[in-house]
Amino acid sequence: MSKLIITKESALPRKAHLYVLGCKVNQAEIDSIAGFLENNGFQIDPECESPELIFVNTCCVTDSAAGKSRRTIKRMSEKYPGSRLLVAGCLAEIDPEMIIGVAPKAIVLGTQAKDHYPDIILGDNMEIASLALPPASSCTDFSDAWQILRPSRSRAFLKVQDGCSHRCSYCIVPIARGPSRSMDLKKAVQGAQRLEDAGYSEIAITGIHLGAYGRDLSPRITLANLVLGLLKNTSNCRFRLSSIEPQEFSNQLLNLISQTPRVCRHFHIPVQSGDDGILKNMQRPYKTDLALKLLEKLLDLIPDACIGMDVIVGFPGETDISFEKTEKFIRESGCSYLHVFPFSPRKGSLAYGFPNRVPTKVARSRVRALRILSAELRSKFIKKFLGRRLEALIESPSTVSGGWSSGLTDNYISVKIREINGNLVRKVVPVNIYKVSGQEAYASISKSEATFLTIGNHNIEV
């Protein structure tokens, strides 16, 4: 049971520190918090020595993430004892007692507290109280009341889904976030329109289990319906989809995204293992053959797509042969980079009690091997575009004469560009990659115009 502790504040805080750990959904949530604070007279100032408010959005998907979250909370509590400390996110839901143990004055906000964020943050006329909120498992509605536009970022996040109803054996996200819940399609479209009107050229569509979008809505719809709705009701902004499970790339979705350059050619797929026996024990609802066929089809439809994969190494029962199968699968898949995680036993998950644990030393060695492979794949992918024209979102201006700006292509290549002024930040511009060094790409602005296919009134069959 999450504990919500509300304290009465005599004055509105004017300076705040924000900290975020974990996934893009956590990033989307902290951006909304930042937008809300800025709209209500706060200044987000990480250099402030005496912040009146500190907000930490935590993660606990692995031991490492939980440890980083715990250390951040403890450090903030000790460094700023006079500040109001709010702690949210998955660790706050899973282990509020631990948080109070390292930061006794912290205000711990579980998953069900999201609807109350505005009142909690402002703290206006609220008596000191301790409220017992229902656990995340009882969440039934998508909480979007507090999602606020933050105008200071180069690209925007639009969170359209939360929670997960599937129970992979290693994962505690369903416990921390609750069942899958989707934002109403009309609200999602309105959110995208507001972001485009505010000048964003790229919007990242995020969710804990994005491929499950719309299953809980009435009438039931799909992720393809969402993407089509966003394209038809916006003009020129591009959309980047966050992680999608292998089994959830429907033909309708594949056909749609292959027909428009307004969906970024970047797909992140949590495959997790290249061994069918391990996938079965993970309770993943597919086999490696399905994943390989998907990747082949993706690259056939969208040859220049960047495909990333999540891989868990050292899952209980993973033998040398199992790992070799995973490595072989990765090399055959055509993927461009990996996010590699060592298995982390999470209390409350089915795999927490699995036998045949892989020794830590062996798991670390396998992680290193795959991260080296990832660097090779990434460098090889980027070199394909040497001398090629791509579309890049300008993320930062040059801060000094002769300095470098950063940009991100639609197929997820980070580029360095010389001397870009602030007027181009948030804009998508054509660039030519003229140099590749390892995993770094250097580009110049192309003289040709950037063009996008406007979906508008076009009929795309889904």
Of 296, 190, 293, 286, nearest to 234 by C-alpha is 190
Residues facing 435 on adjacent strands: 442
Same domain, 369 and 394: no
- Rounded-to-integer distance, Cα 150 and Cα 46, Å: 16
Number of domains in the chain: 3
In this structure, what CATH number is given to the domain that contains residue 192?
3.80.30.20
Q: Which two tokens stand for residue 380?
A: 């090889």
Residue 144 lies in a domain: no
- Residue that has been written with the tokens 């033998």 in this structure: 319
Distance CA(6)–CA(123), nearest Å, equals 7
Residues 355, 396 within the same domain? no
461 in a domain, yes or no?
Answer: no
pLDDT in tens, 92-113: 999 999 999 999 999 999 888 8
CA dist 456 and 228 (Å) reads 10
Single residue among 105, 135, 165 that ends a domain in this structure? 135
Q: What is the CATH number of the domain that holds 428?
A: 2.40.50
Token pair for 274:
């290249």
How does DSSP classify residue 134? P
Domain enclosing residue 409, as ranges: 389-445
| Residue 354 located in a structural domain | yes
Tell me the three state secondary structure of residue 310: strand
Q: pLDDT tens across 284-296, in order?
A: 999 999 999 999 9
Q: How far is CA 79 from CA 13, 45, 97, 100, 184, in A?
A: 17, 16, 21, 16, 41
pLDDT of residue 415: 95
Residues 342 and 302 grouped into a single domain? yes
pLDDT of residue 448: 57
Q: How many CB atoms lie within 10 A of CB 353?
A: 10
- On whether both 27 and 74 belong to a single domain, the answer is yes
Tell me whether residue 459 is in a domain. no
Other residues' Cβ atoms within 10 Å of the Cβ of residue 329:
21
- Cα 285–chain centre separation: 22
Note whether residue 294 is domain-resident. Answer: yes
CATH of the domain at 55: 3.40.50.12160
pLDDT number for residue 47: 86
The last residue of a domain, from among 383, 404, 432: 383
Which residue has 């700023």 as its token pair? Answer: 80
Give mean pLDDT, residues 299-328. 98
Residues 39 and 183 in one domain: no
Q: What token pair was written down for 192?
A: 């995208």
Residue 275 CB partners (closer than 8 Å, separation 6+):
288, 318, 322, 323, 325, 326, 329
Looking at per-residue pLDDT, the higher value among 367 and 13 belongs to: 367
Q: Name the more confident of 434 and 449.
A: 434
pLDDT at 402: 62
pLDDT at 228 over 60: yes
The verdict on residue 450 lying in a domain is no
Residue that finishes a domain, picked among 383, 404, 420: 383
Q: Which of 193, 35, 44 is nearest to 118 (CA)?
A: 35
Specify if 151 maps to a domain.
no
Residue 399: HSE in the Cβ half-sphere, 13 Å Cα cutoff: 3
Gap between the Cα atoms of 332 and 3, Å rounded = 48
| 136 within 8 A of 163, measured Cβ to Cβ | yes
Are residues 266 and 183 part of one domain? Answer: yes
For 3-21, letters b (16+ CB in 10 Å) and e give bbbbeebeeebebbbbbbb
**Contact (Cβ atoms closer than 8 angstroms) between residue 100 and residue 106:** yes
* Residue 112: inside a domain: yes
Instruction: Count other C-beta atoms under 10 Å from residue 280's C-beta.
Output: 13
If phi > 0 it is left, if psi is from -120 to 50 it is alpha, else beta; for residue 35 that is: alpha
List own/partner pairs for 173-177 with CB under 8 A and 24 or more apart. 173/61, 173/90, 173/208, 174/137, 175/93, 175/94, 175/136, 175/137, 175/348, 175/349, 176/60, 176/90, 176/91, 176/93, 176/94, 176/111, 176/136, 177/90, 177/93, 177/111, 177/136, 177/139, 177/208
Q: What is the side-by-side strand order in the sheet with 337-342?
A: 266-272, 306-313, 337-342
Residues 112 and 227 in one domain: no
| DSSP bridge pairs for 440 | 437
Mind listing the pLDDT tens digit for each residue in 131-166?
457 888 888 889 876 666 665 578 899 999 999 999
Are 390 and 410 in contact by the 8 Å Cβ rule? The answer is yes
Tokens of 39: 């709209």
Contact assessment for residue 366 and residue 323, using Cβ atoms and an 8 Å cutoff:
yes
285 in the same domain as 210: yes
Q: Is the pLDDT score of 352 beyond 70? A: yes
73-82 residue pLDDT tens: 999 999 999 9
Q: Characterize the bridge pairing of strands 53-58 and 43-44.
A: unpaired
330 pLDDT band, cuts 50/70/90, is very high
Q: Are residues 441 and 300 in the same domain?
A: no
* Judgement on whether residues 177 and 305 belong to the same structural domain of the protein: yes
128 and 172 belong to one structural domain: no
Query: Do residue 301 and residue 285 come from a single domain?
Result: yes
